[in-house]
Structure 1
């Protein structure tokens, strides 16, 4: 209430001085109305209220102005001869000095109080700002009367008006998640019994039904006989931390799954490459090349925390050992497509096998050869979308249908057909190989 009163007008401003003069005028009218009752006695009686109100509203300078104006008003209206500034007797002069001295003390005291209120309010504003920034709120629970008090920051945490928040422990428990209430009561009871600081976490149910995680630290205050008086505490919003922990656990499980899948893939690559190799040297070269292709796709996925990978980046990584996509000898054309991790890994291996075969026997084996990779996304009904990719080679040696299917071809077939649920068609034209791959983008 006092804080609102001291903020009505700027301190020591012209409007504050005008208000001081109005206070003196009202005090003079009030003293005039008391003249039939008081007569000529106590002419300075109304100085105190005028000076007090003027100093409280406007500050020290308006208070001093009110004192001076009140003395002049009393001297003019109430000290004989009235309506003139005549000489005053010793008694009247002594009374004036007494009243002015007391009024001056009142004004100075009110000025000091205003300064203290301003400092307290500044500290409160800094405290509330710090609490709001750190997502922290403070509260107090009077255990004798079962009254709960929140500060504004606590109201913000629980997304409720702190003035209309829970007033009792039972009302507060109503916003705690049902699964956490018993734990909270047990911890609080133990803290009251041992008089130690209690630390616990719980979920708060917000007005919209969503949930926030809160961390509480509280301490019970008891009287000399050990009877609990009240409990004070602080609430901290740890929802972001909890979500980060949950995401970390999920990522660890995902990482474990990815590592197992990768080891299985490497084992399969080693086994199949060994079967199709005619010498240890050939096995080493082919196996290391396939490992590097797998590693290149892993690097792309690592940059996105295994959320996905752009198709263009996957293609560029597999063409990098062969000079990269230059737009002339090697071209890649298509819209922006985001692949899921398994799609990126499977396509990476498929592109590696196609590029390796082209470097050995196809378009990349001659200076005149070129490769174009193009892709489009086709709508397949109202739900799924199909990614269609065309690998087309030009200008290389004449191509003939192979007499037997090699491991590279089987790897392409397995990557697209079995792992992505798609289709692969490889055509051996004399002018160059064409490979069409198609699969649904919804494939996990």
Structure 2
């Protein structure tokens, strides 16, 4: 005859059963609507930050997160009389350390034992934090996509106004989109590895890489000069515009000298782009075209900074100051 598989003795006790449900994050509690008292087991006491097994309901309410308190009080009161299963979620405490709890049970007489309504509290903190992180990521992605479309529309309109031919339009627009793609790739990788910070030196070197073999380029930007990934497109546009102008009119057009320096000065980032004199026969940049408007909009409006540009027979001196975000 097979042994009886039923749990007996120490295997089937209140202590062993309570231990099992506690390990699953479930606490047992009961409350009396008439007395306005709650009885809490050891895990529930840990949830609420109390050592008392018998606590006033109003005392517990004061521990509920301020944003959740009113709705939670209404749900809690309804659970005493409405004869149906219920589940409502709320936070205990404030800020990042708040604990998420789900109160579950059956309301009305079905959930009563004498004067007490019995139910459970379930710790759902990990799940709620995962949901919050997912929602934040989704919102951030939507924001980035929206920004990229805004930049794409602006670039298309600007390039179209200045293009002298269809091939020129296609080439210029393709080149600018390519830079944005490079910048986005760099930002994505940095966001994964370094909390979203991108070193401006890395970005500048990436954009100037195609000219390294044809010009004397020095990039001297200190490591502390960084930008958050949501601003990297702005800096990419600035570096690209300066490099494009230099390739047309300045040092990058015929093996000249270019020096980019960057320093942190108090609560601001200071960047200086200096070029030697333009090679003989090169056209001179006037600084009044759409590239200038793009720089002004990006630096002053988007980054809330300022810049100064001087073009003379000695070359180009460009300096910008942007508040550290």
1:373 aligns with 2:260: yes
Quick one: distance in 1 between partners of 2:109 and 2:300? Answer: 73
Quick one: distance in 1 between partners of 2:222 and 2:121? Answer: 53
Which of 238, 257, 261 is the matching residue for 1:350? 238
The change in CA–CA distance for 1:123 and 1:433 in structure 2 (over 3 A counts) is: same
Decide whether the 8 Å contact of 1:221 with 1:228 is kept in 2.
no
Decide whether the 8 Å contact of 1:187 with 1:200 is kept in 2.
no
Which of 188, 191, 208 is the matching residue for 1:319? 208
SS of equivalent to 2:269 = strand
The aligned counterpart of 1:187 is 79
Decide whether the 8 Å contact of 2:81 with 2:108 is kept in 1.
no
The aligned counterpart of 2:251 is 363
Which of 38, 46, 71 is the matching residue for 1:156? 46
Compute the displacement of 1:187 (Å). 3.2
User: What value does the CA root-mean-square deviation take over the aligned residues?
Assistant: 3.9
Compute the displacement of 1:388 (Å). 1.0
Quick one: distance in 2 between partners of 1:220 and 1:268? Answer: 58
Decide whether the 8 Å contact of 1:335 with 1:375 is kept in 2.
no
The aligned counterpart of 1:234 is 120
Quick one: distance in 2 between partners of 1:171 and 1:331? Answer: 62
1:269 aligns with 2:155: yes
The aligned counterpart of 2:279 is 397
Number of residue pairs matched by the alignment: 307
Q: Which digits, 9 at most, give the CA deviation of each residue in 1:256-276, with x for residues without a partner?
A: 444333322221211111121
SS of equivalent to 2:164 = coil
Decide whether the 8 Å contact of 1:416 with 1:439 is kept in 2.
yes
Larger proportion of helix: 1
Compute the displacement of 1:199 (Å). 1.6
Alignment of 1:78-227 (within 5 A): 123=16, 127=20, 130-131=23-24, 134=25, 136-141=26-31, 148-161=38-51, 164-167=52-55, 172-173=60-61, 175-176=63-64, 177-190=69-82, 193-194=83-84, 197-205=85-93, 212-219=99-106
SS of equivalent to 1:355 = helix
SS of equivalent to 1:285 = helix
Unaligned runs of 5+ in 1: 1-114, 380-384
SS of equivalent to 1:405 = coil
Q: Which digits, 9 at most, give the CA deviation of each residue in 1:171-228, with x for residues without a partner?
A: 55564524421122213422xx24xx4222234358x9x85431122246969xx975
Decide whether the 8 Å contact of 2:81 with 2:109 is kept in 1.
no
Decide whether the 8 Å contact of 1:334 with 1:376 is kept in 2.
yes
Quick one: distance in 2 between partners of 1:423 and 1:401? Answer: 24
The change in CA–CA distance for 1:159 and 1:300 in structure 2 (over 3 A counts) is: farther
Compute the displacement of 1:438 (Å). 1.6
1:440 aligns with 2:323: yes
The change in CA–CA distance for 1:147 and 1:256 in structure 2 (over 3 A counts) is: closer
Report the TM-score, using the length of structure 1 for normalisation.
Answer: 0.57
Decide whether the 8 Å contact of 1:175 with 1:204 is kept in 2.
yes
SS of equivalent to 1:296 = helix
Quick one: distance in 1 between partners of 2:205 and 2:287? Answer: 30
Unaligned runs of 5+ in 2: 1-7
- Which protein is bigger by CA-based radius of gyration? 1
Compute the displacement of 1:352 (Å). 0.5
1:295 aligns with 2:181: yes
